[in-house]
Amino acid sequence: MVKVRFAPSPTGYLHVGNARTAILNYLFAKRHMGAFILRIEDTDRARSNPAFTKALINDLSWLGIKWDEGPYLQSERLHIYKEYAERMVAEKLAYKCFCSKERLTEIRQERLKSRKAPKYDGKCRYLSDMERAKLESNEVPYVIRFLAPQKDVKFKDMIFGEIGFPSGYVDDFILIKADGTPSYNFAAALDDMLMGITHVIRGRDHIPNTPKQILLFEALGKSHPTYGHHPLLLEKDGKPLSKREGSKEIRTLRELGILPEAIFNYLGVLGRKIDREITDIKALIESFSIDSVSKSDAIFDFQKLLWLNKQHIKTLTSRELILRANLKEEDTQILEALKDNIETLSDVKEMVDIFKSSKLSEEGIEFLQGVKDGERIAKILKEALKNNQNVSFQSLTVKLKEEGISLTKENMLTLRVLLTGRKIGPPIDSILSLIPKEIILGRIECYLTSS
C-alpha cells in the first residue's frame, strides 16, 4: 500500500510552500488509495514551539487535509533514535566522534579557503579501541557519526528522473548530537523506515539530503522509499518565496477571508500541467498524476489566488456565505446582490457596511476632498432623495444632467462614493434600491459638514 508523510518542523506557522507539499502528498496518497501520515519533526529544542505544532495541525485540518496516522512527534521518539544509533555503533556502521567544536570549525574554514565543500575529515573513525576507551573514561563529549560508505549514489526521482551523487559526496555526518537529539537526516530516514513510508514527496531543496538517507537505508538493510522532489514556489520577481513573511502564512490568508477550498485548489494546480483551473478536492484526487508536476519552479501569484477565491465564493449559497462570514439571515438579499463582486470573506463584511453604516471610507473621503463639483453633486442628491421615496440610479444621473453636471468619470465616481461610501463596489444600479435612504443621506451630510 502507498504510504506518504508530511513532516513539518514547528518552528513557525504553516506557509503556502509547506502547505503545497502537504497537498501534493495528500493527493498522491488518496489517488492511490493509500495512507497520509502526519509527523511533526520537533527535535530542534531551541526553535520548536508547541504553539506552532498546534497551529500547524489546525491549519491542515482547516484546509481539509485528513491524516490517516499521527500526528507523530519526534520529540517523543528520542529513545528509538538513541537505540538504533547505539546498535549501529555496535555493528560498526557508526562511531563516536570526540572532536571539539574548535577543531571542527578549523576543518570547515580550511576547506572553505580551498574552495571545497565543508565536510568532516573522518579523524575519529580511525581511533583505536584503546584511544576511544580513554576518551570515554575521561568523559569527553561526543557525537555519533555515520560510517559513510565511499560509493556512488543514484536514484530515480519521480519528477526529475535519474539523479546521481559521486563517491565521497556523503561524509560521516552526525546521527546523534552531543545533547542526545538526532540529526534531521537520521530521524527522518529512520522514521520513514519504521513507519513504512513508500514514497517521499518534498521540495527540491531536499535533494542533497537524499543520498544520505539512501545510504542509511542500505546500512540498515532496508529498501529506501521512492523519492519525488517538487520544484519550489517563487516570488513574482523570481526570488525564493519568503517563509517568514506573514502574508504567505495559511493563518493570514484565512484572516484575510480566503476560503480553504480556494487555497487547496490554487496550491493543488500550481506548477502542474492541468486541464481545469477551477476545481475541488474530489476532482483533484481523481485526476492527480505525479507526472503532471512541472520541473520548473512556480510563481506564487496572490492576485490569481484572489481570483480563484472569487470563483469559489460564487458557488456558495447565500446560507453558506452567511455562515462563513458570520452574518445574519436578514442579510440574505444583500448578499445575493453582492455575491458576484466579492473576492474575500472580509469583503463581505466591508460591503455589507454599504447598507448599514453612514460612514465614508478613508479613500472615499480622500477622493472627495479633491473633487471640483463634489459639494454641488451632494446637494442635488440630497434634495432628490428627500423629495422621492423610490429613486433609481438612472433618475439620479438624469437629475445631475438637468442641473448642469456633466457625467464625467470623476463625477460618476463622486456619485458612487456619496451613495455607497467607497470608490469600489458592485454596480450601483443593482444595489441602490437595497440601501436605506437614511444611510445615504447620512453619508451626504457627513461629507457636507466636513467640506
Evaluate whether residue 257 is within a structural domain: no
Residue 405 counted as domain residue = yes
Asked if residue 169 belongs to a domain, the reply is yes
Same domain, 368 and 344: no
The grid coordinates listed for 235 are 516570488
Confidence of residue 245 (pLDDT cuts 50, 70, 90): low
**pLDDT value of residue 241:** 85
Question: Are 342 and 428 members of one domain?
Answer: no
> Contact, 327 vs 349, CB < 8 A?
yes
Same domain, 410 and 337: no
Note the pTM of the prediction, 2 decimals: 0.90
Q: What does the pLDDT average to over 170-195?
A: 97
Domain harbouring 371, CATH code: 1.10.10.350
Distance of alpha carbon 95 from alpha carbon 87, whole angstroms: 10
- Shared domain check, 350 and 435: no
**pLDDT digits 0-9 by tens, 263-303:** 999 999 999 998 889 999 999 999 999 999 999 999 999 99
Q: When comparing pLDDT for 446 and 53, which is higher?
A: 53
pLDDT confidence band for 114 (50 / 70 / 90): confident
Joined together, the cell numbers standing for residue 54 give: 498546534
Q: Write out the residue range of the structural domain in which residue 347 sits.
A: 322-356
Same domain? For 108 and 172 the reply is: yes
pLDDT in tens, 143-167: 999 999 999 999 999 999 999 999 9
Task: Examine residue 303 and state whether it is found in any structural domain, yes or no.
Answer: no
Other Cβ atoms closer than 10 A to 53: 18
Tell me the CATH number at 148.
3.90.800.10
Q: 172 with 86, same domain?
A: yes
Nearest residue to 269 (alpha-carbon basis) of 279, 260, 258, 254:
279
Query: Is the predicted pLDDT of residue 328 greater than 90, yes or no?
Result: no
- The confidence score (pLDDT) of residue 117 equals 87
Average pLDDT of 326-345?
88
Of 356, 378, 410, the residue that ends a domain is 356
State pLDDT tens for residues 377-424: 999 999 988 877 678 899 999 999 999 989 999 999 999 999 999 998
In a domain, 49, yes or no: no
Query: What's the structural domain count of the chain?
Result: 3
Supply the pLDDT for residue 391: 83
Indicate if 99 and 158 belong to the same structural domain: yes
Tell me the pLDDT tens digit for each residue of 53-112.
999 999 999 999 999 999 999 999 999 999 999 999 999 999 999 999 999 999 999 999
pLDDT level of residue 315 (50, 70, 90 thresholds): very high
pLDDT at 343 over 70: yes
Residue 248 forms part of a structural domain: no
d(Cα 133, Cα 29) in Å, to the nearest integer? Answer: 49
- Regarding whether 87 and 170 lie in a shared domain, the answer is yes
Give yes or no for residue 308 having a pLDDT over 90: yes
Residue 168 within a domain: yes
Identify whether residues 336 and 384 lie together within a single domain. Answer: no
**Mean of pLDDT over the chain:** 94
In a domain, 3, yes or no: no
Are both 409 and 342 inside the same structural domain?
no
pLDDT band for position 244 (cuts 50, 70, 90): low
Q: What is the pLDDT of residue 84?
A: 98
Q: Mark whether 168 and 93 lie in a shared domain.
A: yes
Contact 43, 229 (CB under 8 A): no
Mean pLDDT of 46-52: 95
What is the C-alpha separation between 151 and 241, in angstroms, rounded? 35
**432 and 398 inside one domain:** yes
CB contact at 8 A, 430 and 334: no
Alpha-carbon distances of 280 from 55, 180, 290, rounded to whole Å: 24, 45, 18
